[in-house]
Amino acid sequence: MASASSSALTPGGTGAPSGTTKGSGRHQVVVIGSGFGGLFGTKALKRADVDVTMIAKTSHHLFQPLLYQVATGILSQGEIAPPTREILARQKNAKVLLGEVTAIDLENRTVTSEVLGRVTTTSYDSLIVAAGAGQSYFGNDQFAEFAPGMKSIDDALELRGRIFGAFELAEIGAERGDPIEGLLTFVVVGAGPTGVELAGQIAELARRTLRKDFTNISAEHARVVLVDAAPQVLPPFGEKLGRSAQKSLEEMGVEVILGAMVTDVDERGLEMKFKDGTVQRIEAITKIWAAGVQASELGKTLSEQTGAALDRAGRIAVNPDLTLPGHPEVFVVGDMISLDNLPGVAQVAIQGAKHAAKEIEHRLEGKPSKGPFKYFDKGSMATISRFNAVAMVGRLRLTGFIAWMMWLAVHIFYLTGFKNRVTAVLHWFVSFLGSDRSERTTTTQQIFARTALQRLPGGPNALVSPPGSSEERRRELEEKAAEEARLADARDRPVSAG
């Protein structure tokens, strides 16, 4: 059991908790998630008179915007996913708890989390929920096995294995005289920033890095296809930047197919349907899904307990100050929220989490409420290839090298940890000034392990004994042995005549 402070948060004039605490004497804040919202929320509470418990299902903080560079061999996973424990080691009032949150009880103010059969219940006085979003296959979850998404380190490493592995298999296939077109075709579904960045990187990988590495195949002739149902690439960036990005991609040899809805995905390819009803199939062993998002399942439980509406992407409608209806002590931030059409970007999560942390601090110090959350849009950007990006800052629309330099500066600034920044910059030198990639290592397990685990009834939990079960088993065996000894003893004893 984790800490169980039972503070009574008496609503003040604004209906906000007053922060009176019993038990440990400190106000207990639980933060769910170690992503942008979770980490920045926890850090923002550094000087507050509270104890913070950050509960997350991974032990790292993931910088999702650079996942595509792990998938294409530019960066290592460690550079974009430093351990949360290390980041928070000097924050005395924060502790990290590994576990997937399976339940939130708003009435009793507890969070239940679980890792490999170990269940922990943590009490809170204030709660910040920042569990983010996962990939959405729009009701076709069966596509996931053949077209992994790009949401986690597992995804990126699996994709790295599939992308580099496809070139290797094509090399063998060419030697044997097998057809290799499908192996050398890479399809990215979704022409948002992630899809555009991935397609651009796979094209650069094939045309620059792998160009001279193979004997039997010409890697530079690999076919890279970017598919989207929308009529333009990068819809949130507007028509002009979308057109510019599409032109750059096409100049790099990426085939852009718009207005095409992916209707089927299998091991060997995918099928698309166009508005006029025509259906087209592309034979491609490597497919990547970068098309949709679905907010964390935790939104559902919060909605059921508060009546707050969920939108189609599972995002929960929060009050303007990011709290839940009837629960001023619970804040929801980042990709999980539906408020004023805020986009699912890192800054919404960071600023929302800081807002929530400040509000908690204000309440504890008896200061006036901060009121509604105000988002400051710092702009958006997407890279297309080395030295080429598009950026939107206020009314400014930038393309090419200037936008790419902005992208570089912002990513160096926001990458967590000094050593990560240094090594990432070194790797960027290797890849952008030269043509090499430092992180091309792949393993068979990276490619197949997750699918194998998913097929296993019970998933990874089936592979470990639940806690305490070995002692239980030992006791069972001892009891059985004692019983057998007793029976043997009774058999050996002479029968008495009474």
Ligand X SMILES: Cc1cc2nc3c(=O)[nH]c(=O)nc-3n(C[C@H](O)[C@H](O)[C@H](O)COP(=O)(O)OP(=O)(O)OC[C@H]3O[C@@H](n4cnc5c(N)ncnc54)[C@H](O)[C@@H]3O)c2cc1C
Catalytic residues: 197
Residue with smaller CB distance to ligand X, 160 or 170: 160
189 vs 138: CA distance, rounded Å: 13
CB 436, min distance to ligand X, A: 23
Report the residue from 30, 52, 71, 101 that binds ligand X according to the rule CB under 6 A. Answer: 101
Report the residue from 183, 256, 288, 349 that binds ligand X according to the rule CB under 6 A. Answer: 349
Q: Does 64 engage in binding with ligand X (CB under 6 A)?
A: yes
Q: Does 65 engage in binding with ligand X (CB under 6 A)?
A: yes
Q: Does 193 engage in binding with ligand X (CB under 6 A)?
A: yes
CB 52, min distance to ligand X, A: 15
Please choose, out of 202-210, 233-241, 257-265, 340-348, the segment that lies near ligand X by the rule CB under 6 A: 340-348
Report the residue from 165, 344, 379, 400 that binds ligand X according to the rule CB under 6 A. Answer: 344
Q: Does 328 engage in binding with ligand X (CB under 6 A)?
A: no
Please choose, out of 57-65, 75-83, 164-172, 233-241, the segment that lies near ligand X by the rule CB under 6 A: 57-65
Residue 405 has which token pair? Answer: 């330099």
Could you say which residues in the range 12-41 bind ligand X, by CB under 6 A?
A: 32-38
Q: Does 335 engage in binding with ligand X (CB under 6 A)?
A: yes
357 vs 355: CA distance, rounded Å: 6
Report the residue from 72, 185, 244, 296 that binds ligand X according to the rule CB under 6 A. Answer: 296
CA proximity to 364, closest of 71, 3, 25, 91: 25
Please choose, out of 58-66, 115-123, 442-450, 484-492, the segment that lies near ligand X by the rule CB under 6 A: 58-66
> Is beta strand 254-258 parallel, antiparallel or unpaired with respect to 223-228?
parallel
Q: Does 148 engage in binding with ligand X (CB under 6 A)?
A: no
Rounded to the nearest 10 degrees, what angle do helices 400-414 and 418-428 cross at? 150
CB 265, min distance to ligand X, A: 19
User: Which residue number places its CB atom closest to ligand X?
Assistant: 35
Report the residue from 9, 56, 163, 219 that binds ligand X according to the rule CB under 6 A. Answer: 56
Residue with smaller CB distance to ligand X, 17 or 37: 37
Q: Does 391 engage in binding with ligand X (CB under 6 A)?
A: no
Contact yes or no for 416/65 (Cβ under 8 A) = no
Report the residue from 75, 130, 225, 389 that binds ligand X according to the rule CB under 6 A. Answer: 130
Q: Does 70 engage in binding with ligand X (CB under 6 A)?
A: no
Report the residue from 9, 96, 127, 131 that binds ligand X according to the rule CB under 6 A. Answer: 131
CB 116, min distance to ligand X, A: 14
The size of the interface with ligand X (CB under 6 A), counted in residues, is 32
Residue with smaller CB distance to ligand X, 151 or 207: 151
Contact yes or no for 331/325 (Cβ under 8 A) = no
Q: Does 446 engage in binding with ligand X (CB under 6 A)?
A: no
Q: Does 355 engage in binding with ligand X (CB under 6 A)?
A: no
CB 15, min distance to ligand X, A: 25
Residue with smaller CB distance to ligand X, 81 or 272: 81
CB 190, min distance to ligand X, A: 10
Residue with smaller CB distance to ligand X, 235 or 434: 235
Q: Does 150 engage in binding with ligand X (CB under 6 A)?
A: yes
Q: Does 55 engage in binding with ligand X (CB under 6 A)?
A: yes
Report the residue from 54, 67, 360, 392 that binds ligand X according to the rule CB under 6 A. Answer: 67
Residue with smaller CB distance to ligand X, 64 or 123: 64
Residue 241 has which token pair? Answer: 């930047």
Residues near ligand X (CB under 6 A) are 32-38, 55-58, 64-65, 67, 100-101, 130-132, 150-151, 193-194, 296, 298, 334-335, 344-347, 349
